[in-house]
Amino acid sequence: MPDLHDTLEALYETLEGSEMAEEYSRRHDIESLAVLTIYNNETAKLVARSLAPRIEDKRVIEIGGGIGLLALHLGVYAEHVYCIEANPGWSWAFVGCLYAGKPKNVSYLFGAADEFAGQITADIALCCTHSGVMEMKRLWALFAPEVIDVYGEIINDGPEGFDQLAVALRKLQ
């Protein structure tokens, strides 16, 4: 996988304080921050592997999939992954990886999740985020009967072993 560091740094710089990006988020009801938590293969592989027994041969919808790296790894186990992401910037950063590695059982849907409500359903809705969790919970229910709140579950299993800022942020939501 190409090193995304410089591309992502440039993107963060462009988005930082951008009135246009803020207006875009307001227009699409996006409450979470434009900050990736999954941007390298090692993390994505680890998370996907830990979820494998629960997603094997299932249809999965990832909401707020960021650059889509986790979706690629989930696709190794799941029957099909639909990765919904509203922020147009991420796909630009990830375009090289998509050309090189996108399989046909991983689909990327660009737009706010509620644009797709009623049009796709899955066995499991999944999300990796530290911010905008309440909004994500509302969205999950539109797509699947089962939900995996990846960081929520990790924090519940052992809050002391996790990033304490993320633990505190979650308590506020």
Ligand X SMILES: C[S@@+](CC[C@H](N)C(=O)[O-])C[C@H]1O[C@@H](n2cnc3c(N)ncnc32)[C@H](O)[C@@H]1O
Instruction: Quote the least distance from Cβ 162 to ligand X, whole Å.
Output: 14
Q: Which of residues 87-116 bind ligand X (CB under 6 A)?
A: 87, 112-113
β pairing state of 80-85 and 106-110 = parallel
Q: Of residues 85, 122, 126, 147, which one binds ligand X by CB under 6 A?
A: 85
Using CB positions, name the residue nearest to ligand X.
Answer: 64
Stretch that binds ligand X, among 12-20, 50-58, 80-88, 160-168 (CB under 6 A): 80-88
Interface with ligand X includes 128 (CB under 6 A)? yes
Residue 72 interacts with ligand X (CB under 6 A): yes or no: no
DSSP string, the chain: ----HHHHHHHHHHHTT-HHHHHHHHHTT--S-S--S--SHHHHHHHHHHHHHHHTT-EEEEES-TTSHHHHHHTTTSSEEEEEE--HHHHHHHHHHHHHH--TTEEEEES-GGGGTTT---SEEEE--SSSHHHHHHHHHHH-SEEEEHHHHHHHH-GGGS-HHHHHHHHT-
7-36 binders of ligand X (CB under 6 A): 29-30, 32-36
By CB under 6 A, the count of residues binding ligand X is 24
Rounded least distance, CB 74 to ligand X, Å: 11
Between 103 and 110, name the residue whose CB sits nearer to ligand X.
110
> Residue numbers of the site for ligand X (CB under 6 A)?
29-30, 32-38, 63-66, 84-87, 112-113, 128-129, 131-132, 139
